[in-house]
């Protein structure tokens, strides 16, 4: 009962292994009545093709890997990653791929896992979350022969295929909103300067000021590390420079900024306007609720999977770059 094979189905259906295989894989060249007869046997027995055998013969595993490098320390404290994971998982389901998750916590993990990740016959393709400049996960994985796509512009692998959202234009929307509010001393708590997202959002901040004829005051630019405590500290530094608005490179940092401002007795948005970035669940729960830039994280995940599966079926296309411009200002209370 337990170990059904193609051959056994073939025998009880009175056809050959090949024909059963055709039925299972929806190959057109099977006589309808034969197909039906075989299908019946399959249903009755509950036959399921053996995944490993199939992979070995077809050289396809129908599995995708999602790699979150260790340098993304704030993995699950920042809701961004779960959200991304969700989008990617959803897209995998839809595309009939199985998703494997690789959370690289420690340096040991990386040493141990990277060879396993790029092992042949395990993954059809890999999505790697982009990371710090000095992180070597992306270069390491690119040594393997499995096609991969970086989520977020990679800092240290300029030739790698990647997909990203347009962080520059998103940041510009945020700053333009603040300018439209009449703010003139607009500060920013930028993300880590060694990440593409941090850098690009800062670029957007600068560009928006410039395009609106405002001077850029380097004293109003400070960096957090995308975390809540990072935002809290940055706000402390910024307070004495008396900005009338702060653009934060992530919602988590904005939450920290709000906490610091509340402690200092600064009223938001009366004295200082705040705009975050990401539109994650915590943004709704702040007091007042956070005005922010929404990223289409889910769609991002879906697009990533589409792009990668495309690369899998048509290799050697050279570098693929996809940039989504789909950010959106969400005006709430700050």
Partner DNA sequence: ACAATTTGTGAGAGCGCTCCCAAGATAATG
Partner DNA sequence: CATTATCTTGGGAGCGCTCTCACAAATTGT
**Binding residues for a copy of itself, per CB under 8 A?**
2-3, 46, 48-56, 61, 63, 75-77, 79, 81-83, 85-86, 89-90, 93, 96, 98-105, 109, 112-113, 115-116, 118-122, 143, 145, 228, 255, 259, 262, 281-282, 285, 287
DSSP for 128-177, written as a single string:
EE---TT--HHHHHHTSSS-EEEES--SS-TTS-EEEE-HHHHHHHHHHH
Residue 21 interacts with DNA (CB under 7 A): yes or no:
yes
Residue 308 · residue 168 · CB < 8 Å: no
For the beta carbon of residue 133, count every other beta carbon within 10 angstroms. Answer: 14
Least distance from DNA to the Cβ atom of residue 12, Å? 12
Q: Of DNA, a copy of itself, none, which one sits near residue 16, judging by CB under 5 to 8 A according to partner kind?
A: DNA
Tokens 């690789």 belong to residue:
102
Q: Of a copy of itself, DNA, none, which one sits near residue 19, judging by CB under 5 to 8 A according to partner kind?
A: DNA
In total, the chain counts a number of residues equal to: 334
Touching DNA, residues 96-155 (CB under 7 A)? 121
Q: Of DNA, a copy of itself, none, which one sits near residue 7, judging by CB under 5 to 8 A according to partner kind?
A: DNA
Residue closer to DNA by CB (options 14, 115) is 14
Least distance from DNA to the Cβ atom of residue 115, Å? 13
Angle between helices 17-24 and 6-13 in degrees, nearest 10: 110
Distance CA 103, CA 133 (A): 19
Residue closer to DNA by CB (options 3, 319) is 3
Q: How far, in whole angstroms, is CA 297 from its chain's centroid?
A: 7
Show the binding pattern over residues 32-51: x = contacts DNA (CB under 7 A), - = does not: --x--------------xx-
């Amino acid at each position: 009962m337990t170990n059904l094979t193609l051959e056994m189905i073939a025998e009880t259906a009175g056809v050959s292994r090949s024909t059963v295989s055709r039925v299972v894989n929806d190959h057109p060249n099977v006589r309808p009545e034969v197909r039906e007869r075989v299908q019946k046997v399959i249903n009755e027995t509950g036959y399921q093709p053996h995944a490993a055998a199939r992979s070995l013969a077809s050289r396809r595993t129908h599995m995708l890997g999602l790699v979150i490098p260790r340098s993304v320390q704030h993995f699950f404290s920042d809701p961004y990653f779960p959200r991304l994971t969700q989008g990617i998982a959803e897209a995998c389901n839809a595309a009939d791929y199985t998703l494997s998750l690789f959370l690289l916590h420690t340096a040991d993990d990386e040493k141990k896992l990277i060879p396993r990740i790029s092992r042949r016959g395990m993954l059809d393709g890999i999505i790697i979350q982009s990371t710090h400049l000095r992180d070597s996960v992306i270069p390491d994985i690119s040594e393997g022969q499995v096609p991969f796509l970086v989520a977020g512009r990679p800092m240290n692998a300029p030739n790698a295929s990647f997909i990203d959202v347009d962080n520059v234009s998103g940041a510009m929307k945020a700053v333009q909103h603040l300018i439209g509010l009449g703010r003139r001393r607009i500060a920013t708590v930028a993300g880590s300067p060694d990440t593409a997202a941090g850098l690009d959002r800062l670029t957007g901040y600068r560009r928006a000021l410039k395009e609106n004829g405002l001077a850029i005051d380097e004293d109003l630019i400070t960096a957090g590390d995308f975390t809540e405590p990072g935002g809290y500290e940055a706000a402390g530094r910024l307070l004495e420079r008396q900005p009338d608005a702060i653009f934060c490179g992530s919602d988590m940092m904005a939450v920290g900024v709000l906490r610091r401002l509340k402690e200092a007795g600064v009223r938001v948005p009366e004295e200082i306007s705040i705009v975050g970035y990401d539109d994650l669940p915590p943004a709704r729960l702040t007091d007042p609720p956070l005005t922010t830039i929404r990223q289409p994280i889910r769609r991002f995940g879906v697009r990533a999977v589409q792009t990668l599966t495309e690369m899998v079926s048509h290799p050697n296309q050279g570098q693929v770059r996809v940039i989504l411009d789909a950010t959106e200002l969400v005006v709430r209370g700050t």
